[in-house]
Amino acid sequence: MTLTKCEILKKITEKRELSKLPEKDVELAFSHFEKRQVSEEEKIRLTRELLNKVFWPFRSKKLLSLKDKNYEWILRKHLSTRERLPFYGKLYERIFKNETKNFVLFDLGAGINGISYRFLSQKRLKLKYVGIEAVGQLVDLMNFYFKKEKFNAQAISMSLFEIDNLKKIICKEKGRKIVFLFKVLDSLEALERNFSKKLLSSISPLCDKIVISFPTESMSKRQKFRVKRYWLINFLSKFHLLRDDFEISGEKFLVFEKEQTL
């Protein structure tokens, strides 16, 4: 079988869980194997394997279809939000303790974290939530939930590799801007090395505060990772000050902020 690149990319996304991914990410994943001396079937298999690792790690396939379930049921179906569930109140209290003005929260690589909006609204914060996520099914699920709960929130199906579009989305909103990058930088690096720096240097000048998180333990084996991430602190210090640094439930959070804000 000799397929064109376009046909190969189409074949890769025939799997239901990969069917709503941005083309850009599928193409990037395929580029890792395109020149390898193996059959087309093997290239397709390897690309799907990489995409599953990046987009579906430890997440229940039950999230593939819309279900009218409560927020706890949904948050428990994704490892990142499940681990955070008992601590969301404490986490948002710490991140937003000094926020008094209206702000827009951009959650990049949101997964289903937008469903935790109710913990933000409980804090009486005046915010609009914008989640950006590559997996279309998770975007549909968040938007379904936002509409049902009448939250001031929206999710957008898009790749973070589309930096220009991302910048447009951020610039379009007025006022104070806060960005979450929770457990997402490693996923981006798996498809393109050093992309984190490109992304951060593009969006940092547009944002007042950036909150980044990393797992401090491996998801399956509960092993401790060493997550000092000095490169990140040094790199972001060019744009923002490191205001806070703490760990909650196997997750390290770094809070960066522009000096003159607040």
Ligand X SMILES: C[S@@+](CC[C@H](N)C(=O)[O-])C[C@H]1O[C@@H](n2cnc3c(N)ncnc32)[C@H](O)[C@@H]1O
Stretch that binds ligand X, among 3-11, 176-184, 220-228, 233-241 (CB under 6 A): 176-184
Stretch that binds ligand X, among 33-41, 44-52, 132-140, 223-231 (CB under 6 A): 132-140
**Residue 116 Cβ vs ligand X, minimum distance, rounded to whole Å:** 8
> Residue 212 interacts with ligand X (CB under 6 A)?
no
Interface map 177-196 toward ligand X (x if CB under 6 A) = -----xxx--xx--------
Residues 6+ apart with CB under 8 A from 126: 101, 102, 103
Of 58 and 231, nearer to ligand X (C-beta) is: 58
> Residue 113 interacts with ligand X (CB under 6 A)?
yes
**Residue 110 Cβ vs ligand X, minimum distance, rounded to whole Å:** 6
Return the residues of window 92-111 that contact ligand X according to CB under 6 A: 109-111
Which residue's CB atom is positioned nearest to ligand X? Answer: 111
**Residue 186 Cβ vs ligand X, minimum distance, rounded to whole Å:** 8
> Residue 80 interacts with ligand X (CB under 6 A)?
yes
**Residue 113 Cβ vs ligand X, minimum distance, rounded to whole Å:** 4
Residues within the interface to ligand X (CB under 6 A):
25, 54-55, 80-81, 109-111, 113, 133-135, 159-161, 182-184, 187-188
